[in-house]
Amino acid sequence: MDFDHSPKVKDLCDRLNAFMEEHIYPNQELHNQQLQEMGHGIEHWENWGGVPIIEELKPKAREAGLWNLFLPESRRGGGLTNLEYAPLCEIMGRAPWSAEVFNCSAPDTGNMETLERFGTEAQKKEWMEPLLAGEIRSCFSMTEPDVASSDARNISLTITREGDEYVINGRKWWTSGSGDSRCKLFIVMGKTDPEAEPYRQQSMILVPRDTPGLTIKRMIPVFGFSDAPHGHGEILYDNVRVPAENILLGEGRGFEIAQGRLGPGRIHHCMRMIGQAEVALEKMCKRALERRPFGKLLSDQGVTRERIAESRIMIDQARLLTLKAADRMDKVGNKEARKDIGMIKVVAPRMAAQVIDWAIQVHGAAGISSDFGLSYAYARARAIRLADGPDEVHQNQIARLELKPYTNERV
Amino acid sequence: MDFDHSPKVKDLCDRLNAFMEEHIYPNQELHNQQLQEMGHGIEHWENWGGVPIIEELKPKAREAGLWNLFLPESRRGGGLTNLEYAPLCEIMGRAPWSAEVFNCSAPDTGNMETLERFGTEAQKKEWMEPLLAGEIRSCFSMTEPDVASSDARNISLTITREGDEYVINGRKWWTSGSGDSRCKLFIVMGKTDPEAEPYRQQSMILVPRDTPGLTIKRMIPVFGFSDAPHGHGEILYDNVRVPAENILLGEGRGFEIAQGRLGPGRIHHCMRMIGQAEVALEKMCKRALERRPFGKLLSDQGVTRERIAESRIMIDQARLLTLKAADRMDKVGNKEARKDIGMIKVVAPRMAAQVIDWAIQVHGAAGISSDFGLSYAYARARAIRLADGPDEVHQNQIARLELKPYTNERV
Amino acid sequence: MDFDHSPKVKDLCDRLNAFMEEHIYPNQELHNQQLQEMGHGIEHWENWGGVPIIEELKPKAREAGLWNLFLPESRRGGGLTNLEYAPLCEIMGRAPWSAEVFNCSAPDTGNMETLERFGTEAQKKEWMEPLLAGEIRSCFSMTEPDVASSDARNISLTITREGDEYVINGRKWWTSGSGDSRCKLFIVMGKTDPEAEPYRQQSMILVPRDTPGLTIKRMIPVFGFSDAPHGHGEILYDNVRVPAENILLGEGRGFEIAQGRLGPGRIHHCMRMIGQAEVALEKMCKRALERRPFGKLLSDQGVTRERIAESRIMIDQARLLTLKAADRMDKVGNKEARKDIGMIKVVAPRMAAQVIDWAIQVHGAAGISSDFGLSYAYARARAIRLADGPDEVHQNQIARLELKPYTNERV
Amino acid sequence: MDFDHSPKVKDLCDRLNAFMEEHIYPNQELHNQQLQEMGHGIEHWENWGGVPIIEELKPKAREAGLWNLFLPESRRGGGLTNLEYAPLCEIMGRAPWSAEVFNCSAPDTGNMETLERFGTEAQKKEWMEPLLAGEIRSCFSMTEPDVASSDARNISLTITREGDEYVINGRKWWTSGSGDSRCKLFIVMGKTDPEAEPYRQQSMILVPRDTPGLTIKRMIPVFGFSDAPHGHGEILYDNVRVPAENILLGEGRGFEIAQGRLGPGRIHHCMRMIGQAEVALEKMCKRALERRPFGKLLSDQGVTRERIAESRIMIDQARLLTLKAADRMDKVGNKEARKDIGMIKVVAPRMAAQVIDWAIQVHGAAGISSDFGLSYAYARARAIRLADGPDEVHQNQIARLELKPYTNERV
pLDDT band at A410 (very low <50, low <70, confident <90, very high): very low
pLDDT band at C292 (very low <50, low <70, confident <90, very high): confident
Smallest Cα distance from D293 to chain A, Å: 18
Specify the CATH number for the domain of residue B222: 2.40.110.10
**Residue C302 contacts A, CB cutoff 8 Å:** yes
Kindly report the average pLDDT of chain A as a whole number: 94
Q: Residue B389, by phi and psi: left (phi above 0), alpha (psi -120 to 50) or beta?
A: left
Report whether D247 contacts D166 (CB < 8 A): yes
**pLDDT above 80 for C200:** yes
Q: Which ranges in A5-49 belong to alpha helices (H)?
A: 7-19, 28-39
The string of DSSP letters for D7-70 reads HHHHHHHHHHHHHIIIIIGGGHHHHHHHHHHHH-SGGGGGG----HHHHHHHHHHHHTT-SS--
Q: Could you say which of C229, C252, C275 is where a domain stops?
A: C252
Which residues numbered 173-202 in D keep a CB inside 8 Å of some CB on A? none
Q: Which residue of D has its CA nearest to B298?
A: D302
Smallest Cα distance from B397 to chain C, Å: 8
Q: Which residue of A has its CA nearest to C298?
A: A302
Report whether A339 contacts A323 (CB < 8 A): no
Q: Are residues A400 and A259 in the same domain?
A: yes
Q: Cβ C324–B392 below 8 Å, yes or no? A: no
**pLDDT above 60 for C307:** yes
Chain D adjacent subunits, 3+ CB pairs under 8 A: A, B, C
pLDDT band at D260 (very low <50, low <70, confident <90, very high): confident
Cis upstream peptide for B107 (omega within 30°): yes
Q: Are residues A276 and A233 in the same domain?
A: no
Q: Is residue A322 part of a domain?
A: yes
**Residue C207 contacts B, CB cutoff 8 Å:** no
Number of domains in chain B: 3
* pLDDT the model gives residue A76: 77
**Residue D10 contacts A, CB cutoff 8 Å:** no
Give the residue-averaged pLDDT of B168-178.
Answer: 97
Give the residue-averaged pLDDT of B74-97.
Answer: 92
Sign of CA dihedral D201, D205, D210, D212: negative
Nearest in space to C291 (alpha carbons), one of B211, A216, D389:
D389
Partner residue opposite D220 with nearest CB, options C173, C360, C369:
C369
Q: Are residues D348 and D392 in the same domain?
A: yes
Q: Are residues C267 and C387 in the same domain?
A: yes
Q: Cβ B306–D302 below 8 Å, yes or no? A: yes
pLDDT band at B213 (very low <50, low <70, confident <90, very high): very high
* pLDDT the model gives residue B411: 43
Interface test with D, best of C153, C291, C297, C392 (most D CBs within 10 A): C392
* pLDDT the model gives residue D409: 54
Give the residue-averaged pLDDT of D239-257.
Answer: 96
Q: Which residues are within 8 A (CB) of C279 and not within 5 positions of it... i.e. 6 or more apart?
A: C94, C377
Contact residues on chain D for A308, CB-CB shorter than 8 A: 398-399, 402-403
Q: Which helix (H) or strand (E) holds C342?
A: helix C338-363
Q: Is residue A1 part of a domain?
A: no
Q: Is residue B38 part of a domain?
A: yes
Give the residue-averaged pLDDT of B27-31.
Answer: 97
Q: Name the DSSP letter for residue D410.
A: -
**pLDDT above 90 for B15:** yes
Q: Could you say which of B252, B271, B292 is where a domain stops?
A: B252
Specify the CATH number for the domain of residue A371: 1.20.140.10
A88 C-beta neighbours (distance < 10 Å), count: 26
On the CB side of A99, how many CA atoms lie within 13 Å of its CA?
Answer: 25
Q: Which helix (H) or strand (E) holds D395?
A: helix D391-403
Partner residue opposite D41 with nearest CB, options C43, C369, C387:
C43
Q: Is residue B351 part of a domain?
A: yes
Range of the domain at C194: 137-252
**Residue A356 contacts B, CB cutoff 8 Å:** no
Better-predicted residue by pLDDT, A301 or B294: A301
Smallest Cα distance from C63 to chain D, Å: 36
- The beta strands (E) that lie in D65-164 are given as 137-141, 158-162
Q: Are residues A213 and A301 in the same domain?
A: no
Which residues numbered 233-262 in C keep a CB inside 8 Å of some CB on D? none
* pLDDT the model gives residue A294: 82
**Residue C335 contacts A, CB cutoff 8 Å:** no
Smallest Cα distance from D299 to chain C, Å: 13
Share of chain D above pLDDT 70, in %: 99
Q: What are phi and psi of C114, to 5 degrees?
A: -60, -45
Give the residue-averaged pLDDT of C313-335.
Answer: 96
The string of DSSP letters for D169-211 reads EEEEEEEETTTSTTEEEEEEEEES-TTS-GGGSEEEEEEETT-
Q: Which residues are within 8 A (CB) of D33 and not within 5 positions of it... i.e. 6 or more apart?
A: none
Q: Cβ C376–D224 below 8 Å, yes or no? A: yes
**Least confident stretch, A244-248, A252-256, D67-71:** D67-71
Alpha carbons C133 and C129: distance in angstroms, whole number: 6
Q: Is residue A364 part of a domain?
A: yes
Which residues numbered 277-296 in B keep a CB inside 8 Å of some CB on A? 291-295
Q: Are residues B282 and B398 in the same domain?
A: yes
**Least confident stretch, B247-251, C229-233, D69-73:** D69-73
Smallest Cα distance from A117 to chain D, Å: 26
**Amino acid at position B349, single letter:** P
End-to-end, the C-alpha distance of chain D in Å comes to: 30
**Residue A4 contacts D, CB cutoff 8 Å:** yes
Q: Are residues D387 and D326 in the same domain?
A: yes
Q: Is residue B24 part of a domain?
A: yes
Specify the CATH number for the domain of residue A30: 1.10.540.10
Report whether D94 contacts D17 (CB < 8 A): no
* pLDDT the model gives residue D259: 83
Which residues numbered 303-322 in A keep a CB inside 8 Å of some CB on C? 303-306
**pLDDT above 90 for A254:** yes
Q: Are residues B259 and B400 in the same domain?
A: yes
Residue B313's SS3 state is helix
Q: Are residues C357 and C317 in the same domain?
A: yes
pLDDT band at A408 (very low <50, low <70, confident <90, very high): low
Q: Is residue C411 part of a domain?
A: no
Nearest in space to C204 (alpha carbons), one of C148, C127, C106, C125:
C127
**pLDDT above 80 for A232:** yes
Question: Which tens digits make up the pLDDT trace of B231-250?
Answer: 999 999 999 999 999 999 99
pLDDT band at D410 (very low <50, low <70, confident <90, very high): very low
* pLDDT the model gives residue C71: 77
The string of DSSP letters for A329-372 reads HHHHHHHHTHHHHHHHHHHHHHHHHHHHHHHHHHHTHHHHSSSS
Q: Could you say which of A132, A153, A179 is where a domain stops?
A: A132
Looking at the DSSP bridge assignments, the partners of residue D141 are D188
Q: Which residues are within 8 A (CB) of B218 and not within 5 positions of it... i.e. 6 or more apart?
A: B42, B45, B233, B234
* pLDDT the model gives residue A388: 82
Smallest Cα distance from D359 to chain C, Å: 12
Q: Cβ A303–C302 below 8 Å, yes or no? A: yes
**Residue B1 contacts A, CB cutoff 8 Å:** no
Chain B adjacent subunits, 3+ CB pairs under 8 A: A, C, D
Alpha carbons A28 and D344: distance in angstroms, whole number: 36
Q: Is residue C266 part of a domain?
A: yes
On the CB side of C31, how many CA atoms lie within 13 Å of its CA?
Answer: 20
Question: Which tens digits make up the pLDDT trace of B40-72?
Answer: 889 899 999 999 999 999 999 999 999 999 877
Give the residue-averaged pLDDT of A298-312.
Answer: 96
Question: Which tens digits make up the pLDDT trace of A46-82?
Answer: 999 999 999 999 999 999 999 999 877 777 777 899 9
Question: Which tens digits make up the pLDDT trace of A325-345?
Answer: 999 999 999 889 999 999 999
Smallest Cα distance from C67 to chain B, Å: 23
Better-predicted residue by pLDDT, A152 or C142: C142
Q: Cβ B224–A370 below 8 Å, yes or no? A: yes
Report whether A169 contacts A158 (CB < 8 A): yes
Q: Are residues C172 and C271 in the same domain?
A: no
* pLDDT the model gives residue B164: 97
**Amino acid at position A365, single letter:** A
Interface test with A, best of C294, C296, C298, C301 (most A CBs within 10 A): C301
**pLDDT above 90 for D295:** no
Nearest in space to A107 (alpha carbons), one of A168, A42, A187:
A187
Q: Are residues A259 and A316 in the same domain?
A: yes
* pLDDT the model gives residue B303: 94
Q: Are residues B119 and B154 in the same domain?
A: no
Kindly report the average pLDDT of chain D as a whole number: 94
* pLDDT the model gives residue C388: 82
Kindly report the average pLDDT of chain B as a whole number: 94
Q: Which residues are within 8 A (CB) of D110 and not within 5 positions of it... i.e. 6 or more apart?
A: D140, D261, D264, D265
Report whether D134 contacts D127 (CB < 8 A): no
Contact residues on chain A for C310, CB-CB shorter than 8 A: none
pTM of the predicted model as reported, rounded to 2 decimal places: 0.96
Alpha carbons D357 and D408: distance in angstroms, whole number: 43
Which residues numbered 209-228 in A keep a CB inside 8 Å of some CB on C? none
- ipTM for this prediction: 0.95
Contact residues on chain D for B301, CB-CB shorter than 8 A: 302
**Residue A302 contacts C, CB cutoff 8 Å:** yes
* pLDDT the model gives residue B408: 67
The string of DSSP letters for B179-235 reads TSTTEEEEEEEEES-TTS-GGGSEEEEEEETT-TTEEEEEEPPBTTB--TTT-EEEE
pLDDT band at A409 (very low <50, low <70, confident <90, very high): low
